[in-house]
Chains A and B, each alone.
Chain A
Amino acid sequence: MISSPSVLAFAEASLLARARRRLLGDGLARACAALLAVVALACLLGPFVTGHPYDRLYYDYPGVPPSLALYPRPEAVGPALDRLALRMRVRAEDVAVTGEAVRLTLASDRPIDDRVLTFFSRSDIFGEARLLGRSEDGRRLTVEAPLHALRFLAGTDALGRDLLTRTLTAGRLSLALGLMATAVALGIGVAYGALAGTLGGRVDAAMMRLVDILYSLPFVFFVIMLVVFFGRSVALIFVAVGAVEWLDMARIVRAEAQAIRRRDYVRAAEALGLSTSAILRRHVVPNLLGPVVAFAALMVPRVILLESFLSFLGLGVQEPATSWGVLIADGARSLETAPWMLIVPASFLVATLLALTLLGERLRDALDVRG
């Protein structure tokens, strides 16, 4: 019935090899996988490259829109110097802006103390100022200060923190949380559900009643309880999300395992004398794979959203640490004044979720033996 060599090779390839071949042959799946890889790498390495610490506040640049331009802008240097001079209680005169530095004379009615120069390095615009000359009476100082050249590709937030760095740092937490919570839910849920579905009877009834009881706990109440007992930490969110998400997985897996349990190949395995654990391992779990993979791929985005919900309520990640959910909540509040604060983290989240969902669907199809 099978003739051509390529079809024959396909019929003999192992399940995973076939799934991989199908996925690689699928342009959309490749694109999704590539996008996910790019996002993950950017989140891992990006914060080292952007040149901004994620929690550094640039007091001089709050709410800067995204652009490729270098800051400070030349026309902004003058007013900035005036503000600085005001705080040093001097006058800024003969201001000359060259490419990378500014040269000026500080004038006052009284002799100027050198120590005022430290004001320069406290500003985000200038580096440490050098004293070039001092007049006889000490009322005029000639000073050169380098300009701090900064770029904010994605703009800054209302406190002047670089949004790109923050988004990438947030991605670390969101992705890690999504993966970890899903892995936990997968591990517990598949084992628990497959066991309940395979054993059946009273054991199954008892195991599933426990799931029902946990289900009936309101999630937010549960989290608040955890916070009360254990204090607030990121690890706690992992626990809370994992503890809730495995319930769904266990239910799905149990229903699927029950259906598989009634299949003739499981009966045949029993008749061959396989032990219950061998039947679980060799027959039930591998045949669960398709729906479980699809559900897991959809669970990652759900977990990410759940975390942002918790953080939004103030039960999750706390400043200055951040996650996509926190950033989006911030962005939503300043949508009218600084739309980029919503757009940048939201586009990262949407791209990731879309790629994950599509990839999960493709993966399920690729794992389907009938196709």
Chain B
Amino acid sequence: MTLLQLRGLTVRYPEAGVTALESLDLDLARGETLALVGESGSGKSQVALAVMGLLPPQARVSGSVRVDGTELTALDRPALDRIRGARIGLVFQEPMTALDPLFTVGHQIALPLRAHRGMGRRQAAARARELLDLVGIRDAASRLSAHPHELSGGERQRVMIAMALAGEPDLLIADEPTTALDVTVQAQILALLADLKRRLGLALLFITHDLRLVRRIADRTAVLRAGRLVETGPTGELFRNPRAPETRDLLAAEPAGRKDPVPEEAPVVLETRGVSVGYPGRRHFLRAEPPRLAVCGIDLTVRAGQTIGVVGESGSGKSSLGRALIRLEPAAHGLVRFEDRDLTALDRRALRPLRRGFQPVFQDPMGSLSPRLTAGEIVAEGLRVHSPHLSAADRDARAAEAFSEVRLDPTWRHRFPHAFSGGQRQRIAIARAMILRPRLVVLDEPTSALDRTVQRDIVALLRDLQAAHGLAYLFISHDLAVVRALADTVLVLRAGREVERGPTDAVLARPREAYTRALVAAADLDGDLSQA
């Protein structure tokens, strides 16, 4: 029996001239899980907002949204309020910002109970506790009085789910509920959702960009691209026999291939012995707290042409390690030898000329380019420091070359960063590093903020650049699939300490340590997507 029925749902933004969704038809039965898959900008979140009536005021909606036979688009605000929260629950992507930092968890869960179910204060508190138990939060009674900042990311997402369930809805909409979480936590939340669905007979609309999650949780899958539904069908069937080219493109976007090992005699580019990285402790009036160690006792040897993959969950110290090795904040202690120089012994000024040898690429393609400079100026900036004899015209010519090298149209170099897409911005960031011809590039989650299809192109670009220039990479990522495709050696970090290391295939196929096994299991690497 159909619970949610969308017919010809169209969402337009006339002011921006954008059609976010175009005549979308979807059905979701009771007790069913439907996954809505698409890349960023495909309009998948617009579906959730349209069903909940949460679209911004400038949006123009046409078509029909029926929940259990009730047409939602025709309802006024009070009538809509009786349905959303009560019949439909919504779980957002970002559990930190979706909870109000000023109120306790118990208070926030009790709100919908009192609004929709007319419970008293005491009754609502009791029910909130049951709900926290239901979503698997340990020690629920004491967690009720906790504020959101006292909870971990996974716990916050569980609280969000508890809030969504408070009205005992028939339909739960989860908009990228696990994207902001670590892989192991992600797996737990997915298991929780599947379990709740079974026990409560919920219909689940699961919105995601990650095909691996879809295969694990969804009965049926719908693929969106540019606001249109391109394909829908039972999940297994769709993965085995994708009909639409867009679906095939998405499936083929999983990082593939392996890295060829480098010869033993390749020159050593970076060598570290017992590197520790600490953040200075908080200073009080008279005494200072001891420094907080983010990384402890890491030995590394990186050869030309080699890629070391550094993996671990958030807070494992992998980004701190990457930054410290190229002498950005925070500071590294121990021996860091780049080619024949000890970096930790040099002061900032003495270090500057050496910096062209090692360059970073950061995760966020928005934040890593100054919005006030043109793409060409950004790319050529390093030349100002390291080749001061070049004229402005020479620099510009070199920037154009660097643009071609990262497969961007060189005529685009006069544009500002905001005119580029995420993947293009990441190419600009890579070009900024490559123009100096470095020997080592520290790649700090360079593909994590990108869609899978864009990711595939960036991975290919990184591979080609490495082959062409014999670059050494330190590749930091939480995404084991990308690490497997790029790295020779993988180093697993947990709480700043090395857990395991070895050749990538060996570590990922036969992890020795329990922590690595958990990571690999959560990443669900085994088997190709098409054999679901």
Q: Residues on A close to B: CB < 8 A?
A: 1-2, 11-12, 15, 263-265, 267-275, 278, 282-283, 286-287, 289, 369-370
B118 within 8 A of A: no
Is B370 a contact partner of A11 (Cβ separation < 8 A)? no
Q: In the complex the two chains form, what is the Cα distance from A282 to B380 in whole Å?
A: 13
Q: Do A286 and B385 form a contact, CB below 8 Å, given A264-B362, A267-B362, A273-B355? A: no
Is there contact, CB below 8 Å, between A369 and B372? yes
Knowing A11-B415, A263-B367 are in contact, say whether A271-B360 is a contact too (CB < 8 A): yes
A289→B371 CA distance, assembly (Å): 12
Nearest opposing residue in chain B for A285, CB measure = B372
- Is A273 touching B382 in the complex (CB atoms < 8 A)? yes
CA distance A11 to B358 in the complex (A): 31
Interchain CB contact (< 8 A) of B372 among A271, A273, A278, A287: A287
Contact B373 A282, beta carbon cutoff 8 Å: yes
A274 near B381: Cβ-Cβ < 8 Å:
yes
Q: Which residues in window 299-339 of B have CB below 8 A to A?
A: 323, 326, 328-329
Extra pairs beyond A264-B362, A370-B418 (10, CB < 8 Å): A15-B416, A264-B364, A264-B367, A265-B378, A268-B360, A269-B370, A271-B326, A272-B381, A273-B386, A275-B352
User: Is B429's CB under 8 angstroms from A268's CB?
Assistant: yes
Cα distance A217–B326 in the bound complex, in angstroms = 45
Interface centre among A1, A272, A282, A287 (most CB of B within 10 A): A272
- Once the chains bind, are B385 and A268 in contact (CB under 8 Å)? no
Query: Hey, which bits of chain B sit against chain A, CB under 8 A?
Result: 323, 326, 328-329, 351-353, 355-356, 358-360, 362-364, 367-374, 378, 381-382, 384-386, 414-421, 424, 429, 432, 436
Q: What are 10 inter-chain pairs, A to B, with CB distance below 8 A?
A: A1-B419, A1-B420, A1-B421, A12-B414, A268-B432, A271-B326, A271-B328, A278-B384, A283-B372, A370-B418
Per the bound structure, the CA–CA distance linking A278 and B384 in Å amounts to 10
A272–B328 touching, CB < 8 Å: no
Are A265 and B367 closer than 8 Å at their CB atoms? Answer: yes
Contacts of A269 in B (CB 8 A): 370, 381
Of A1, A11, A267, A289, which contacts B328 at CB under 8 A?
A: A267
Closest to A272 in B: B382
* B385, B416, B421, B432: the one within 8 Å of A273 (CB): B385
Q: Which residues of chain B are within 8 angstroms of A11 by Cβ–Cβ distance? A: 415-416, 419
- A369 and B382: CB pair below 8 A? no
| Structural contact, A369 and B418, CB atoms closer than 8 A | yes
How far apart are A4's CB and chain B's nearest CB, in angstroms? 11
10 closest cross-chain pairs (CB), A and B: A264-B368, A273-B355, A11-B419, A286-B372, A273-B352, A264-B362, A12-B414, A369-B371, A272-B382, A11-B415
- Residues of chain A with a CB closer than 8 A to B418's CB: 369-370
What's the least CB distance linking B237 to chain A, in Å?
34
Contact of A287 among B323, B370, B436 (CB under 8 A): B370
* Contact for B360 among A12, A267, A278, A370, CB less than 8 A: A267
Distance, CA A272 to CA B370, complexed state (A): 14
Residues of B within 8 A of A268 (CB): 360, 362, 368, 429, 432
Whether A287 and B360, one on each chain, are in contact in the complex, defined by CB atoms closer than 8 angstroms, is: no
Kindly identify which residue among A12, A15, A272, A370 contacts B385, using a CB–CB cutoff of 8 Å: A272
Contact of B355 among A1, A12, A263, A271 (CB under 8 A): A271
Give the Cβ gap from A111 to chain B, nearest Cβ, in Å.
Answer: 88
Instruction: Kindly identify which residue among A1, A12, A271, A283 contacts B370, using a CB–CB cutoff of 8 Å.
Output: A283
- Nearest B residue to A371 via CB reads B418
- Do B369 and A265 touch (CB < 8 A)? yes
Contact partners of B352 in chain A: CB under 8 A: 273, 275
In the complex, which of the residues B359, B368, B416, B436 contacts A265, with contact meaning CB atoms closer than 8 Å?
B368
In the complex, which residue of chain B has the Cβ closest to the Cβ of A14?
B374
* B396 nearest CB across to chain A (Å): 13
A369 touches B355 (CB 8 A): no
With both chains docked as a complex, state the minimum distance between the C-beta of B322 and any C-beta of chain A, in angstroms. 11
A260 to chain B, nearest CB (A): 9
Residues of A close to B353: CB separation below 8 A: 273
A265 contacts B328, C-beta separation under 8 Å: no
Report whether B371 and A271 are in contact in the complex, using a CB–CB cutoff of 8 Å. Answer: no
Across the interface, do B370 and A274 meet the contact criterion of CB distance under 8 Å? no
B360, B372, B378: residue with the most chain A Cβ atoms closer than 10 Å: B372
B473 to chain A, nearest CB (A): 15
CA distance A268 to B488 in the complex (A): 26
- Asked if A272 meets B367 with Cβ closer than 8 Å, knowing A1-B421, A267-B323, A369-B418, the reply is no
- Are the CB atoms of A271 and B359 closer together than 8 Å? yes
Q: How far is A332 from B49 in the complex, measured between Cα atoms in Å?
A: 55
Q: Verify B386–A265 contact, CB threshold 8 A.
A: no
Query: Which residues of A lie under 8 Å from residue B415 when comparing CB positions?
Result: 2, 11-12
Interface centre among A263, A287, A370, by most chain B C-beta atoms within 10 angstroms, is A263
A2 touches B419 (CB 8 A): yes
The minimal Cβ–Cβ distance linking B152 to chain A, given in whole angstroms, is 23
A49 to B287, CA, bound (A): 70
Q: Chain A residues near B358: list those with CB within 8 A.
A: 271
> B364 — nearest CB in chain A belongs to which residue?
A264
In angstroms, Cα B370 to Cα A317, docked, is 46
Chain A residues positioned under 8 Å from B326 (CB to CB)? 271
* A270 adjacent to B368 (CB under 8 Å): no
Shortest C-beta distance, B57 to chain A (Å), equals 19
Question: Residues of A contacting B382 with CB < 8 Å?
Answer: 272-273
Residues of A within 8 A of B363 (CB): 264
